[in-house]
């Protein structure tokens, strides 16, 4: 156990030096680094915001069912099959057909090449499941149909969230999918997420619809409130123009009224439609509706054919800027709810770094002093090993650009405390062996051999705990499991290669003297 070949010694030294050099990389500013890697600080250390958003898919489901119902009603009408009692309740479509057509209809839905019910060969499933309830038929999303719908609205939401955050211009935002109906947003360095939260909280669904004077027709008309929540107007359900047709939107100052407005530019299709609608409806009020609330309802005075227009509605400069931003980046497919939020201010982050470092230095010093007092020369070996161990650990974290969190620093300190365990096990064993064995080399050798199973067992148990934490934990806790887990490997390396090398050098120099631990 004590013999090292030259090649092995060179290998050990070069591996150690490699990681130690990488760990020093963190001390330099970015332009002086020899490789472009460093440890990332977690949000709890550098400050920033963590937001977990959940997509509320129920309006999307509702909308999709509505579309599907319209679609298959026309489809069967063309085949002279009348769909009756069409109703959407509880995320299901209920309808009835004359009994002689029932089997036909069911078959039409279950056909692999169905025009009205797409089939996913990958999942071996249709979009909708049809159920025969006797008098009525029930159409509902299949499991795969729902998954498809959720992932597609998640994809869209992710894109829109990214655009909105990019517009605000924070540094290095992290926007990730979670599950199939969540989006995780990490914003380093941001200490006041209120603006982003309010921007992400809006669907930004913009529509232009005529104000209706005919409030008897309840089918094509709905009553909507103004932004001030007091005034109301009846508005046609027919959408003249939606936010999809917008090319650009900017906040502007209207020189005539001295009011902040949002000016917009429409795409070609939108401009054409807008021109036509305005030319035939001069004198009518056109309501501009955002997320179910009327911003304003100006009277059309002239045909607007240029595709340029402006929205006024008592904006402040800030609210006009935000609205323009929302309109530029597009509407979310569904509302987002913030279900988890964690924000750490930059000065608390700095305080945490300082506290963590002080705890690390003090903990490290206490352990080193204790071990030195206890084991003298072998304590020195242990301590050298411990320092190299710590540097290699930092080197590995740097190489993989791991994220260091406050619990992660605790993990490093804990590693220091537990890393000595392996050396202690070995030295205690050697001590016992020396009682019966006069030959130093044999005693040391068997000390190493006999303590090995206990050391492996001990480290495997801790490693298992770290692995479970890594997969179950989130955010800062994950950082803890990473340092704890990586610490086990560096500990084993430094104990079995570095400490053993140093021990073997010492023992072979003092072969015939009495060695005491």
Partner 1 sequence: MIKFNKFYTQFNILSSVMIVISLLLLVFKGLNFGIDFKGGTLIELRTLDKKINISNLRDNLKQMNLGDVSVKKFGNDKDYLIKFETRNEDNSVIEEIKSNLDKSFGNNFDFRRVEKVGPKVSAELLKSGVIAISVSLAIMLIYIWIRFEWQFSLGAIIALFHDVIITLGLFSLLNLEINLSIIAAVLTIVGYSMNDTVVIFDRVRENLRKYSDIKIFELTNISINETLSRTLITSITTLLALLSIFFFGGEILKGFSLAMIFGVIFGTYSSIYIANTVLVRLNVSQKTVIKEDEKI
Provide CB contacts within 8 A for 265, sequence distance 6+.
Answer: 246, 247, 248, 249, 307, 308
Find the part of the chain contacting partner 1 (CB under 8 A) among 7-15, 154-162, 196-204, 240-248: 196-204
DSSP state string for 404-472: E-HHHHHHHHHHHHHHHHHHHHHHHHHHHHHHH---HHHHHHHHHHHHHHHHHHHHHHHHHHHHHHHHH
Query: Are 434 and 443 within 8 A, CB to CB?
Result: yes
Nearest approach in angstroms of CB 415 to partner 1 is 8
**Per CB under 8 A, 162 contacts partner 1:** no
Which residue number, 299 or 339, has a Cβ lying nearer to partner 1? 339
Nearest approach in angstroms of CB 345 to partner 1 is 5
Which residue number, 414 or 505, has a Cβ lying nearer to partner 1? 414
User: Site residues for partner 1, window 384-413 (CB under 8 A)?
Assistant: 406-407, 409-410, 413
Which residue number, 387 or 458, has a Cβ lying nearer to partner 1? 458
Q: Kindly write out the interface string for residues 214-253 of this chain, putting x where it contacts partner 1 by CB under 8 A and - elsewhere.
A: ----------------------------------------
Q: Which two tokens stand for residue 347?
A: 């000065």
Strands 293-296 and 308-315: unpaired
CA distance to 260, 289, 318, per residue, from 314 (Å)? 7, 14, 11
Which residue number, 132 or 341, has a Cβ lying nearer to partner 1? 341
Nearest approach in angstroms of CB 424 to partner 1 is 5
Of 88, 175, 418, 441, which one interacts with partner 1 (CB under 8 A)? 418
User: Site residues for partner 1, window 76-105 (CB under 8 A)?
Assistant: none
User: Site residues for partner 1, window 33-52 (CB under 8 A)?
Assistant: 44, 52
Gap between the Cα atoms of 473 and 476, Å rounded: 8
Query: Are 298 and 287 within 8 A, CB to CB?
Result: no
**Per CB under 8 A, 416 contacts partner 1:** yes
Of 206, 371, 391, 498, which one interacts with partner 1 (CB under 8 A)? 371
**Per CB under 8 A, 201 contacts partner 1:** yes
CA distance to 282, 283, 440, per residue, from 276 (Å)? 11, 14, 100
Which residue number, 64 or 164, has a Cβ lying nearer to partner 1? 164
Find the part of the chain contacting partner 1 (CB under 8 A) among 58-66, 227-235, 271-279, 369-377: 369-377
**Per CB under 8 A, 498 contacts partner 1:** no
Which residue number, 313 or 408, has a Cβ lying nearer to partner 1? 408
Nearest approach in angstroms of CB 43 to partner 1 is 11
Which residue number, 1 or 348, has a Cβ lying nearer to partner 1? 348
Query: Are 49 and 176 within 8 A, CB to CB?
Result: no
Kindly compute the dihedral angle of the four CA atoms of residues 133, 139, 143, 148, in this order, to the nearest 10 degrees: 180
User: Site residues for partner 1, window 428-487 (CB under 8 A)?
Assistant: 428, 432, 450, 453-454, 457-466, 468-469, 472-474, 476-477, 480-481, 484
Find the part of the chain contacting partner 1 (CB under 8 A) among 15-23, 103-111, 242-250, 361-369: 361-369
SS3 per residue for 345-388: CHHHHHHHHHHHHHHHHHHHHHHHHHHHHHHHHHHHHHHHHHHH
User: Site residues for partner 1, window 299-338 (CB under 8 A)?
Assistant: 337-338
DSSP state string for 260-295: EEEEEEE-HHHHHHHHHHHHHTTTSBEEEEETTEEE
CA distance to 68, 85, 95, 130, 140, per residue, from 82 (Å)? 16, 10, 10, 17, 20
Q: Which two tokens stand for residue 328?
A: 């530029």
- Give how many residues touch partner 1 by CB under 8 A: 71
Find the part of the chain contacting partner 1 (CB under 8 A) among 9-17, 78-86, 239-247, 417-425: 417-425
């Amino acid at each position: 156990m004590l013999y090292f070949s030259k090649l092995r010694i060179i290998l050990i030294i070069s591996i150690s030096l490699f990681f130690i050099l990488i760990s020093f990389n963190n001390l330099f500013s970015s332009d002086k680094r020899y490789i472009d890697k460093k440890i990332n600080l977690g949000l709890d250390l550098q400050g920033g915001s963590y937001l977990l958003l959940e997509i509320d898919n129920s309006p999307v489901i509702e909308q999709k069912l509505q579309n599907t119902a319209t679609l298959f009603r026309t489809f069967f009408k063309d085949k002279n099959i009348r769909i009756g009692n069409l109703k959407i309740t509880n995320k299901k479509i209920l309808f009835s057909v004359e009994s002689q057509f029932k089997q036909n209809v069911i078959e039409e839905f279950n056909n692999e090449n169905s025009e009205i019910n797409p089939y996913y060969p990958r999942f071996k499933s249709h979009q909708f499941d049809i159920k025969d309830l006797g008098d009525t038929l029930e159409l509902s999303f299949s499991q795969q149909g729902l998954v498809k719908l959720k992932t597609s609205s998640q994809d869209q939401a992710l894109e829109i969230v990214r655009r909105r955050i990019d517009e605000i211009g924070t540094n290095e935002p992290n926007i990730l999918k979670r599950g199939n109906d969540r989006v995780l947003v990490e914003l380093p360095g941001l200490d006041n997420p209120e603006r982003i939260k309010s921007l992400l909280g809006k669907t930004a669904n913009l529509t232009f619809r005529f104000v209706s004077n005919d409030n008897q027709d309840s089918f094509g008309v709905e009553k909507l409130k103004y932004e001030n929540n007091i005034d109301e107007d009846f508005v046609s359900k027919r959408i003249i123009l939606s936010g999809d047709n917008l090319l650009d939107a900017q906040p502007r100052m209207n020189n005539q009224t001295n009011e902040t407005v949002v000016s917009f530019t429409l795409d070609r299709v939108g401009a054409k439609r807008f021109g036509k609608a305005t030319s035939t409806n001069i004198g009518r009020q056109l309501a501009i509706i955002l997320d179910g609330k009327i911003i304003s309802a100006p009277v059309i005075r002239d045909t607007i054919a240029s595709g340029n227009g402006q929205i006024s509605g008592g904006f402040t400069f800030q609210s006009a800027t935000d609205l323009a931003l929302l309109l530029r980046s597009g509407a979310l497919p569904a509302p987002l709810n913030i279900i988890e939020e964690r924000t750490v201010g930059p000065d608390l982050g700095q305080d945490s770094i300082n506290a963590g470092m002080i705890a690390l230095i003090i903990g490290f010093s206490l352990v080193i002093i204790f071990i030195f007092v206890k084991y003298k020369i072998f304590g020195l070996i242990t301590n050298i090993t411990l320092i190299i161990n710590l540097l290699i650990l930092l080197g590995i974290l740097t190489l993989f650009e791991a994220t260091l969190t406050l619990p992660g620093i605790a993990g490093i300190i804990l590693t220091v405390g537990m890393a000595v365990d392996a050396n202690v096990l070995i030295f205690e064993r050697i001590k016992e062996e020396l009682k019966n064995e006069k030959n130093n080399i044999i005693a040391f050798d068997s000390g190493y051999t006999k303590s090995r199973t206990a050391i492996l067992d001990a480290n495997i148990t801790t490693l298992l705990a770290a692995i479970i934490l890594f997969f179950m934990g989130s955010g800062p806790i994950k950082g803890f499991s990473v340092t704890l887990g990586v610490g086990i490997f560096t500990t084993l390396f430094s104990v079995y290669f570095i400490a053993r090398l140093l021990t073997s050098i010492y023992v072979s120099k003092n072969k015939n003297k009495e060695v005491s631990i």
